[in-house]
Amino acid sequence: MRRTPMTKRKACFIACILPCAAVYYCIKYTFRAVEETLDAVDSARQRHRIKTRKRPKSKPLAVIPSVSKRTSASAPIKTSFLHLPPEIRLMIYRLVFGGPAIMQVRSTYSMRGPRPETWVSGQGIRDDADEPSKALRLIIGLGGSPLRQLVAPPSVGCVIYGYVSRLICGEKHCFAITRYHDDEAVHYTDLMRTSRAVYGEALDLLYAEHTISLFGVEMARYFCRNASPEGMKRIRFAHVALIIPSSSWDSPSQKKSIKDTMKLLRHSLPHLLQLDIEVAVTWGQPKDTGLFWSWLTDDGVLGQFRGLEKFVLKASAYLPFTMRPRGNCEAWTPQYELLESWDDGEYQALKTRVTSLDEAMASS
């Protein structure tokens, strides 16, 4: 039987489309496999860096020497940056580092962003009335982690979304503390390499005036091992996000990791004034919610802090997705609910213990 013209056209169309479709899907899945491989390699490299990197030994800061007097009237006067009045040097440091901001620590380079405009003067952390971090929910919903804080929604067809670059504490878009010039990365903190005198003067601006945001126990330990010992003594404001699996929170390794991290922060930040703890339980309510709440507020975990000026705790259970999201970032932001075992009375008692000066003097 002879084929009709319509059948021939369909056969030609299929013969042309099938190879193109095969090439398209081959390229698509090849690129996806390469991207997943690169992500795995980068995660392994970051994990190795976080576990092994440690600041080198250095001498403690010395007192800035006073300017020597001239021994002769004819001797030339040597001037340097340190001869400028302290007020002018402070203005220069502020131009370099910027005003009070939120610094989110990463293993490669930290991210910096503005504090919320609603914060009053002297406020370095959120209030109890503020909602839990939406940016943190988005990053976790997209499969992010302390090792992989910059994430992007999966592409939909030819639509490719950019990376999520929001601070988990300030909810603002952030930028890296670096600029590029002539293909070389220039970090603003390189100014502190000028001399130990400049280093000492700039520490207050870099540590005391900023809110240090730590994403997970990994970043908290990494920061305490690599940050300046003198700088950590100047930190006054800190935000810590704890990501706790709902099904394995009571495993000995998980509980020990969080307990040891809180103890490390307490010893490393002796002059901390304001502490913001955000607990994100993934996914769903933790098993044995009552035991979870008792363990969380116990003196061995959050209750071990003393003498703070302000303390805020937010504990949320992230709800699992009912179906795979599609679309922009908003679709990947999971819903949340308050911890079932949350008790306002016990929370206020915890705040009282943590902010009590009498108990701080007794424990010391």
Question: Closest by alpha carbon to 315, among 291, 274, 281?
Answer: 281
In one-letter notation, the amino acid at residue 27 is I
Provide mean pLDDT across the span 348-357.
92
Do residues 235 and 272 lie in contact, with contact meaning Cβ atoms separated by under 8 Å?
yes
pLDDT tens-digit series, residues 290-349? 999 999 999 999 999 999 999 999 999 999 998 888 777 888 999 999 999 999 999 999
The residue ranking higher by pLDDT, 29 or 145, is 145
Read off the pLDDT of each residue in 45-61 and give the average, rounded to a whole number.
72
The sign one gets for the Cα dihedral 316, 267, 303, 253 is positive
**Nearest to 244, CA basis, from 220, 278, 212, 274:** 278
Residue with tokens 């819903």: 335
The pLDDT of residue 156 is 73
Beta bridge partners of 187: 178
Examine the pLDDT at 134 and tell me if it is beyond 70.
Answer: yes
The confidence score (pLDDT) of residue 160 equals 73
pLDDT top residue among 108 and 169 = 169
Kindly state the percentage of the chain with pLDDT values over 70. 84
Do the beta carbons of residue 207 and residue 35 sit within 8 Å?
no
Return the percentage of the chain with pLDDT > 90, whole number: 48
> Could you say which DSSP state residue 82 is in?
G
Q: Is 112 helix (H, G, I), strand (E, B) or coil?
A: strand
303 DSSP assignment: G
CA gap 139, 238 in Å, rounded: 20
Mean pLDDT estimate for the chain:
84
pLDDT of residue 11: 72
Q: What is the pLDDT of residues 60-90, one digit of tens each?
A: 665 544 444 444 455 566 778 888 898 898 8
CA distance 232 to 228: 6
Residue 182 confidence (pLDDT): 47
Q: What is the mean pLDDT of residues 16-44?
A: 74
pLDDT, tens digit (0-9, with 9 covering 90-100), for 224-279: 999 989 999 999 999 999 999 999 999 999 999 999 999 999 999 999 999 999 99
What residues contact 298, with CB distance under 8 A and at least 6 apart? Answer: none
Burial-class residue 238 by CB neighbours within 10 Å (0-12, 13-18, 19+). Answer: buried
Report residue 309 as tokens: 């000026």
* Alpha helices for the chain (secondary structure H): 5-52, 86-97, 134-141, 196-203, 216-226, 229-232, 252-268, 289-296, 344-354, 357-363
Residues 6 or more apart in contact with residue 219 via CB below 8 angstroms: 50, 105, 106, 107, 146
Task: List alpha helices for 142-237, DSSP H.
Answer: 196-203, 216-226, 229-232
Tell me the pLDDT band of 178, cut-offs 50, 70 and 90. Answer: low
